[in-house]
Amino acid sequence: MSQSNGSENVLWDLSVFYADPADPAIPRDLAEAQAAAERFAERYRGRVASLSAAELAEALRELEAIYEKMGGLSAYATLHWTTNTADPTRGALLQRINEADAKLDQTLLFFTLEWTQLSDEAARIADDPALSRYRHHLHKQRRYRPHLLSEPEEKLLNEKAVTGRQAWARFFEETVSGLRYEWEGQLVPQAVVMRQLYSPEREVRRRAADSITAGLRPHVRTLSYVFNTLLADKASEDRLRRYPTWLSARNLANETTDQAVQTLVDAVTDRYDIVERYYALKRRLLGVEELFDYDRYAALPSAETRYTWQSARQIVLDAFGAFSPQMADVARQFFDQNWIHAPVVPNKSGGAFSHPTVPSAHPFIMLNYTGAARDVMTLAHELGHGVHQYLARQHGLFGAYTPLTTAEMASVFGEMLVFNDLMARESNPSARLAMLASKIEDTFATVFRQISMNRFEDAIHTARRAEGELSVERFSALWLQTQRAMFGASLTLRDDYGIWWSYVPHFIRTPGYVYAYAFGELLVLALFSRYKQEGAAFAPRYLEVLASGGSEAPERILAKVGVDLTDPTFWAQGLQIIDDMINDLEALTVQVS
């Protein structure tokens, strides 16, 4: 597909891993990783309880090196497949690596099980100075103690996942990535049609929404079967592992509690009135009697600016540099060293991500860049992730990766830097109004929409466990119910919108993920408020937080910038900032009227 925004040649260079899929180093490294795992098992099986602190540290260094090698293989196969999910050779390589990864995990599984089975008194060895690099990792693993099974059972679950949930997730991804939608007489990828939902022309928006619905409809029964299968799979594993709720496993991975997450969900749903208030204002700004689902993202007339890739790059680097030259220097490497894949091409995965890969390499960013203002913010978002992941590499494989909740902190902060920089440069009230409205909608998408999607996930997991296999109509009814709760009377969701749950990858890839976006956005609103108060002195402390990665508990890391996640009023503070943004929008509306 032709592009004219300058992103068509922005392709990543994966040679930090392998030259190409035929690189003889791939089978060599696969064999070496498995052989090293078997040697490790021979040396340490049955001995974890008797290791000294120094010996345990040495074992963890060996284990880290093995997982690092396999992680590089997995990262290469995943990234290579992402840009053409319809290529059978790429899919075959990905499957080969996944199967090898599962075999390696089975070989090494004993180590985690032996560690978690130690008594609390014996496990105090983790606090020995010799294990300082691995202390948090060791303590974090022991939190899974009530949910781990016997070694044979764990091995069986691990092996069956390759041909079970992983296979279904890949099938979903390839199906959705391969869909084509009619637009202007052509069949195009979803991203091309989705961007039309931001058009200032209402008829264009309506036709785009109808095209998405028409493209999904022939496949929705198949996609609902994928959903049903994975919902049942999760219910089965949650039961076997004795998790009290469908979300408990995700909360444990995020180093938070069921109660803390419910507090966040309740705080956001209790303020759905903010959404209604905004869309009542937007209806007046658009001059229509009723807003429909295809009007949600309608651009105001002065918000139609398109951005070339080069201009987007400069905007983001300038904003990052004004906050911290170090932050800009790290981000610049992604452009200069070809760590980004930007163009919209057939069969490429949708959306965007920053993949941390492994500490011995560096992150890679995937975008579907169309030149819209929203894409500039997405670039800032993913580069925020990328900077975070790059700085945290110093802690190695067991300390670099953050929970999803604090991972979203860096991405949303990157967006805020770019937004505030653009607003500071703009003097035209109409343009400022359009920019602020767009930012509010982005914030809604990150906070309210993600929580409404959490409510949908909660509904379908609960219903699947209570009712059995769900029909397309049942999925759609739950989708409309949870989405309508957010908008209230401010916007009409047509029945056709009912099947739009079917393409959302987060429900498939990472069940329970979506609330992390709201967590990150509200956290960033608090951080940004602190930054505006403290000025330049805040930047080095913020970068210290990013560089901490996952080496400590989130609450300890965030205490470095004065954030108390245990404060029961914390979420209300962030939500009030969003409410204040609408006050600012109303004031701008008066100026331009």
What pLDDT, in 10s, does the model give residues 484-497? Answer: 999 999 999 999 99
Please say whether the beta carbons of 541 and 561 come within 8 A: yes
Q: What is the mean pLDDT of residues 375-386?
A: 96
Nearest by Cα to 179 from 536, 445, 500, 441:
500
Query: Mean pLDDT of all residues in the chain?
Result: 94
Q: What is the mean pLDDT of residues 203-217?
A: 98
Lowest mean pLDDT among 42-46, 554-558, 579-583: 554-558
CA atoms of 386 and 380, how far apart (whole Å): 10
pLDDT over 90 for what percent of the chain? 85
Output b/e per residue, 353-383; b: 16+ Cβ within 10 A.
bbbbbbbebbbbbbbbbbbbbbbbbbbbbbb
Please classify residue 299 by burial: count the beta carbons closer than 10 Å to its beta carbon, then call 0-12 exposed, 13-18 middle and 19+ buried. Answer: buried
Lowest mean pLDDT among 179-188, 435-444, 465-474: 435-444
Work out the angle between the directed axes of helices 515-534 and 570-592 (0-180°, nearest 10): 70
Lowest mean pLDDT among 86-90, 206-210, 299-303: 299-303
Assess whether pLDDT exceeds 60 at residue 442.
yes
Distances in Å between the Cα of 144 and the Cα atoms of 207, 336, 495 are 49, 41, 42
- Provide the pLDDT for residue 303: 53
- Provide the pLDDT for residue 302: 64
Assess whether pLDDT exceeds 60 at residue 148.
yes
pLDDT band, residue 337 (cuts 50/70/90): very high
pLDDT over 70 for what percent of the chain? 99
Query: How far is residue 592 CA from its own chain's centroid?
Result: 37
Q: What is the mean pLDDT of residues 339-361?
A: 95
Q: What is the mean pLDDT of residues 59-88?
A: 97
Assess whether pLDDT exceeds 80 at residue 593.
no
173-302+446-509 carries CATH number 1.10.1370.20: yes
pLDDT band, residue 2 (cuts 50/70/90): very low
Q: Could you write out the DSSP letters of every residue in 213-273?
A: HHHHGGGHHHHHHHHHHHHHHHHHHHHHTT-SSTTHHHHHHTT--HHHHHHHHHHHHTTTH
- Provide the pLDDT for residue 592: 81
- Kindly report, as residue ranges, where domains of CATH 1.10.1370.20 are found in the chain: 173-302+446-509
Assess whether pLDDT exceeds 90 at residue 498.
yes
CATH of domain 305-443+517-571: 1.10.1370.40
Please say whether the beta carbons of 454 and 478 come within 8 A: no
- Provide the pLDDT for residue 1: 42
- Kindly report, as residue ranges, where domains of CATH 1.20.140.70 are found in the chain: 14-163
Strands 353-355 and 364-366 come out as: antiparallel
Q: Torsions phi, psi of 364, nearest 5?
A: -130, 145
Q: What is the mean pLDDT of residues 122-146?
A: 97
pTM for the model stands at: 0.87
Please say whether the beta carbons of 380 and 418 come within 8 A: yes
Please enumerate in sequence order all residues whose Cβ is within 8 A of that of 208, keeping only pairs 6 or more positions apart, or say none: 183, 193, 194, 196, 197, 199, 294
- Kindly report, as residue ranges, where domains of CATH 1.10.1370.40 are found in the chain: 305-443+517-571
Assess whether pLDDT exceeds 50 at residue 590.
yes
Output b/e per residue, 434-445; b: 16+ Cβ within 10 A.
bbbbbbbbbbbe
Q: What is the mean pLDDT of residues 566-589?
A: 89
Distances in Å between the Cα of 410 and the Cα atoms of 136, 236, 374, 538, 548 are 21, 34, 18, 14, 12
CATH of 14-163 given 1.20.140.70, 3.30.420.40, 3.30.70.141, 3.40.50.1000 = 1.20.140.70
Please enumerate in sequence order all residues whose Cβ is within 8 A of that of 238, keeping only pairs 6 or more positions apart, or say none: 245, 246, 248, 249
- DSSP single-letter state for residue 201: -
- Provide the pLDDT for residue 3: 55
Please say whether the beta carbons of 158 and 102 come within 8 A: yes
- DSSP single-letter state for residue 306: B
Please enumerate in sequence order all residues whose Cβ is within 8 A of that of 103, keeping only pairs 6 or more positions apart, or say none: 34, 159
Assess whether pLDDT exceeds 80 at residue 152.
yes
- Provide the pLDDT for residue 429: 84
